[in-house]
């Protein structure tokens, strides 16, 4: 291949090389974080103070030479600190909260399971660029399904009951009194179960077209002791049963669907006349330049490999993408016959949108 004609500014070259080196180190962390979680290394370090590699290895029944190397990689990444005077490594509490506490406000290892799954799927995803065909959610490496649940659940646990439901018009009172709720595209049912735990008088049905996810959700509901008020059923967003829901919820899935306007029509027909549709979507501005930041970087990457091909695999294949933004989402919701639409609330990572008939 002929070399392209380039005019290289050395300062800009060095700046980019610095960034690329940093990114390379971050990419290498993927397997190290998964491994650190699965071997219980982070959990064993959390709150334990300074440890030698041998002490950590003894606590986790692992090999001290490998653990030393892993700790050095963690220290070079600022995930743990190192004291050369004592040859001990410490997991600071802030890092421990995000790496060792799966019930905390954010749990990072789940995200790395998602990232690893996209590397496994890269050959098929590469092919979609050539053919333009889709690659459905169900076709992905199973790490995506588990990683999604584990990465999203902490944010739902922190926000859904305290902030998102109360931000909707009149929904909280209905749920407390006893309402019918559909959680569509529910995946492993984390959101469905959290709502069922908070509102015992209400009845919840989680729908998803992906049968293995529904099976997993049923097991989780059983383990959480809420099977009396939660059901899970395999169904698509355009054909799930029921006509009298008080609340229909979509968590991070409307943009994954091929025909979101058709879905909106079906949601409208499934709601009571005064029902609420809660649409939780990744945070995004309407214009590309508003999303060129660290959050947008993560979401555009996920969108390229997961959300856009998922939508392309379904009928219509609108492919909104994870960074669709509120204006485009409003358009598809209105095409479905909803007359009221607003941003009910937001977090740095999510838009919480409400549509009403
Ligand atoms: C990003 S995951 C979100 C899962 C879950 N709501 C959560 O927040 O953890 C998207 C989900 O949408 C589901 N999905 C995609 N298209 C669907 C459709 N047309 N009908 C029903 N479910 C669909 C997928 O199977 C997947 O479980």
| 53-62 pLDDT per residue, tens | 999 999 999 9
CA of 221 to the centre of ligand 1 (A): 17
CA–CA separation, 320 and 216 (whole Å): 28
Residue 351 located in a structural domain:
yes
Same domain as 207, residue 237? yes
pLDDT above 70 for 312: yes
CB of 186 closer than 6 A to ligand 1? yes
* Helices and strands in the chain: count of H runs, count of E runs: 14, 9
Domain boundary among 45, 78, 99: 99
CATH code: domain of residue 230: 3.40.50.150
CB of 146 closer than 6 A to ligand 1? no
Q: List pLDDT tens digits, range 132-154.
A: 999 999 999 999 999 999 999 99
pLDDT above 80 for 338: yes
Domain boundary among 52, 71, 99: 99
Same domain as 193, residue 339? yes
Residue 4 located in a structural domain:
no
Same domain as 275, residue 201? yes
CA of 208 to the centre of ligand 1 (A): 6
Confidence of residue 274 (pLDDT cuts 50, 70, 90): very high
CB of 185 closer than 6 A to ligand 1? yes
**Which residue owns the Cα nearest ligand 1 atom 2?**
253
pLDDT above 90 for 214: yes
Same domain as 255, residue 321? yes
Residue 104 located in a structural domain:
no
CA of 117 to the centre of ligand 1 (A): 16
pLDDT value for 2: 79
Which contiguous run of DSSP H or E holds residue 248?
Answer: strand 245-251
CA of 87 to the centre of ligand 1 (A): 47
Residue 1 located in a structural domain:
no
* DSSP tag of 256: G
pLDDT value for 104: 82
Residue 202 located in a structural domain:
yes
pLDDT value for 3: 86
CA of 187 to the centre of ligand 1 (A): 5
Same domain as 164, residue 87? no
Same domain as 162, residue 70? no
- Average pLDDT rounded to a whole number, residues 269-275: 97
Q: List pLDDT tens digits, range 69-119.
A: 999 999 999 999 999 999 999 999 999 999 999 888 889 999 999 999 999
Same domain as 175, residue 118? yes
pLDDT value for 1: 67
Residue 3 located in a structural domain:
no
Same domain as 124, residue 268? yes
CA of 184 to the centre of ligand 1 (A): 7
CB of 155 closer than 6 A to ligand 1? no
Which residues on adjacent β-strands are paired with residue 354? 278, 342
Same domain as 134, residue 77? no
CB of 137 closer than 6 A to ligand 1? yes
CB of 190 closer than 6 A to ligand 1? yes
- Average pLDDT rounded to a whole number, residues 282-306: 97
- Average pLDDT rounded to a whole number, residues 251-260: 98
Q: How far out from the chain centre does Cα 341 lie?
A: 24
Confidence of residue 65 (pLDDT cuts 50, 70, 90): very high
Residue 119 located in a structural domain:
yes
Please state the domain count of the chain. 2
Question: How many C-beta atoms surround the C-beta of residue 125 within 10 A?
Answer: 19
Same domain as 157, residue 71? no
Same domain as 214, residue 70? no
CA–CA separation, 143 and 110 (whole Å): 9
Residue 316 located in a structural domain:
yes
Average pLDDT of the chain is 97
Among the atoms of ligand 1, which is closest to the Cα of residue 237? 20
- Nearest-Å Rg of the Cα atoms of the chain is 22
CB of 252 closer than 6 A to ligand 1? yes
- Average pLDDT rounded to a whole number, residues 185-196: 98
Domain boundary among 77, 99, 121: 99
CB of 156 closer than 6 A to ligand 1? no
pLDDT above 90 for 294: yes
Which residues on adjacent β-strands are paired with residue 93? none
Query: In Å, what is the CA distance from 139 to each residue of 98, 120, 185?
Result: 29, 12, 16
CA of 251 to the centre of ligand 1 (A): 8
Query: Which range marks the domain in which residue 83 is found?
Result: 10-99
**110 contacts: CB under 8 Å, gap ≥ 6:** 146, 147, 148, 149, 150, 151, 152, 153
Same domain as 118, residue 87? no
For residue 164, give the 3-state DSSP assignment.
Answer: helix
CATH code: domain of residue 82: 1.10.10.10
């Amino acid at each position: 291949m002929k070399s392209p004609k380039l005019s290289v500014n050395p300062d800009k070259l060095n700046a980019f090389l610095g960034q690329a080196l940093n990114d390379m180190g971050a990419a290498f962390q993927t397997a190290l974080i998964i491994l650190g979680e699965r071997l219980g290394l982070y959990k064993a370090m959390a709150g334990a103070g300074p440890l030698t590699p041998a002490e950590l290895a003894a606590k986790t029944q692992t090999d001290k030479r490998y653990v030393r190397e892993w700790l050095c990689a963690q220290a070079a990444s600022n995930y743990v600190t190192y004291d050369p005077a004592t040859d001990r490594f410490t997991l600071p509490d802030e890092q421990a909260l995000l790496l060792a506490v799966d019930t905390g406000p954010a749990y990072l290892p789940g995200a790395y399971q998602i990232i690893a799954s996209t590397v496994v799927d890269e050959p098929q995803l590469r092919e979609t660029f050539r053919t333009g065909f889709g690659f459905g959610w169900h076709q992905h490496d199973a790490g995506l399904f588990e990683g999604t649940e584990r990465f999203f659940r902490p944010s739902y646990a922190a926000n859904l009951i305290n902030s998102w439901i109360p931000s909707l018009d009149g929904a909280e009172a209905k749920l407390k009194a006893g309402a019918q709720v559909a959680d569509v595209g529910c995946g492993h049912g984390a959101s469905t179960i959290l709502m069922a735990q908070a509102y015992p008088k209400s009845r919840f049905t989680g729908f998803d077209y992906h049968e293995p996810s529904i099976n997993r959700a049923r097991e989780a509901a059983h383990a959480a002791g809420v099977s009396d008020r939660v059901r899970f059923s395999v169904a698509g967003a355009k054909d799930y049963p029921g006509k009298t829901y008080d609340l229909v919820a979509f968590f991070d899935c409307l943009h994954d669907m091929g025909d979101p306007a058709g879905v909106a029509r079906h949601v409208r027909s499934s709601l009571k006349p005064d029902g609420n549709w809660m649409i939780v979507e990744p945070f995004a501005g309407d214009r590309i330049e508003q999303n060129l930041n660290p959050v947008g970087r993560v979401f555009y990457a996920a969108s390229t490999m997961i959300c856009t091909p998922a939508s392309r695999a379904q009928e219509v294949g609108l492919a909104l993408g994870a960074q669709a933004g509120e204006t485009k989402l409003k358009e598809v919701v209105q095409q479905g016959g909803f007359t009221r639409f607003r941003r009910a609330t937001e977090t740095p990572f999510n838009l919480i949108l409400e549509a009403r008939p």
